[in-house]
């Protein structure tokens, strides 16, 4: 069976597409280039957020939202800009992970539910996201408060899974119970994502880990679902995007999304979960102080 051509940063097609997208952002910023250079440090934020997001399955908003809050962005700017950056980073990660699946994991038993998990969860998430925006369902609390509690509770939950869930043989079979859970995760997580720019990916990866699916498959599935979800959302919030930030953070997120898979394949499942939980506990705790 022929293998797909690896995705490389030096691939001419990638360079052309990357350049066209960046030029479009530059035009959309409506500012002279010398003024925009003041925002170049956001490139590192994009790289960091995308590496974190695509190596854990969480949305990049886990990094972006606390940063934007400290910079006094409005809630609308924070959410919209976070979605926009994730459209770059999560898409790059989704393409990279999907290439990994089709070139190396497609015939493995532990990855046999990959496409079904993504399909069921993505459709449910898209429906929930669309419903929240169309019917203008408001978040039950402010962005700062909701995000802090979400991060703290999710971090604590991950810690519990590390120390209380005993290792067993990884499963591959998806049961009816799992399909129902995936629909609920998509609906509930999609609604949270509409309010916080994160949610569905985090819930999905935790569920799959608890159900003892392969850790890399769980992360890959969550990354692809998150990528689809942010693209569904961006059409509803694009008016509030902080274009100057996106101009530099977006390309940085592409690089982070591509390199993240390498990080995952060299770390153990336990280390990944501890690393993820540590960041969530810090951001959640600081947000509630």
- Whether 109 shows a pLDDT value over 60: the answer reads yes
Q: 4: Cβ–Cβ under 8 A, 6 or more apart, which residues?
A: 99, 102, 103
Mean pLDDT along residues 116-139: 96
- pLDDT-based confidence at residue 166 (cuts at 50, 70, 90): low
Comparing 86 with 210, the larger pLDDT belongs to 86
The closest of 106, 114, 94, 120 to 172, measured between CA atoms, is 114
Lowest mean pLDDT segment, chosen from 69-78, 159-168, 177-186: 159-168
Mean pLDDT for all residues in the chain: 83
CA–CA separation, 107 vs 109, rounded Å?
Answer: 7
The closest of 196, 197, 213 to 205, measured between CA atoms, is 213
pTM of the predicted structure, to 2 decimals: 0.85
Helix, coil or strand: residue 107: coil
Cβ atoms 109, 245 nearer than 8 A = no
Residues 232-249: tens digit of each pLDDT: 999 999 899 998 899 889
Residues 61-96: tens digit of each pLDDT: 878 988 898 899 999 999 999 999 999 888 888 988
Mean pLDDT along residues 170-175: 84
> What is the token pair recorded at 109?
């038993």
The closest of 200, 198, 207, 210 to 280, measured between CA atoms, is 198
> What is the token pair recorded at 46?
């994009």
- Whether 4 shows a pLDDT value over 50: the answer reads no
Residues 96-107: tens digit of each pLDDT: 889 889 988 998
CA–CA separation, 267 vs 112, rounded Å?
Answer: 22
Cβ atoms 23, 231 nearer than 8 A = no
> What is the token pair recorded at 121?
């969860």
């Amino acid at each position: 069976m022929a293998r797909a051509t690896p995705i490389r940063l030096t691939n001419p097609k990638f360079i052309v597409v990357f350049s066209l997208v960046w030029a479009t952002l530059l035009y959309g910023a409506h500012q002279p280039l010398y003024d925009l250079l003041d925002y170049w440090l956001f490139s590192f934020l994009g790289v960091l957020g995308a590496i974190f997001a695509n190596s854990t399955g969480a949305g990049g908003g886990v990094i972006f939202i606390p940063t934007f809050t400290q910079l006094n962005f409005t809630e609308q700017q924070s959410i919209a800009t976070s979605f926009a950056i994730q459209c770059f980073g999560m898409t790059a990660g989704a393409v990279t992970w999907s290439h990994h699946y089709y070139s190396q994991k497609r015939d493995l038993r532990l990855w046999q539910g990959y496409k079904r998990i993504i399909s069921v969860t993505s459709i449910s998430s898209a429906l929930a996201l669309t419903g929240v925006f169309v019917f203008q369902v408001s978040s039950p609390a402010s962005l700062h408060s909701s995000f802090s509690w979400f991060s703290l509770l999710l971090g604590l939950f991950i810690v519990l899974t590390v120390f209380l869930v005993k290792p067993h043989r990884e499963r591959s079979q998806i049961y009816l119970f799992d399909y129902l859970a995936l629909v609920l995760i998509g609906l509930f997580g999609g609604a949270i994502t509409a309010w916080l720019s994160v949610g569905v990916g985090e819930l999905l990866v935790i569920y799959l880990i608890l159900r003892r699916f392969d850790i890399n498959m769980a992360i890959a599935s969550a990354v692809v679902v998150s990528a689809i979800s942010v693209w569904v959302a961006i059409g509803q919030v694009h008016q509030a995007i902080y274009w100057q930030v996106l101009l530099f953070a977006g390309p940085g997120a592409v690089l982070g999304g591509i390199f993240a898979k390498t990080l995952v394949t060299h770390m153990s499942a336990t280390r990944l979960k501890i690393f993820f939980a540590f960041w969530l506990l810090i951001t959640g705790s600081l947000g509630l102080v």
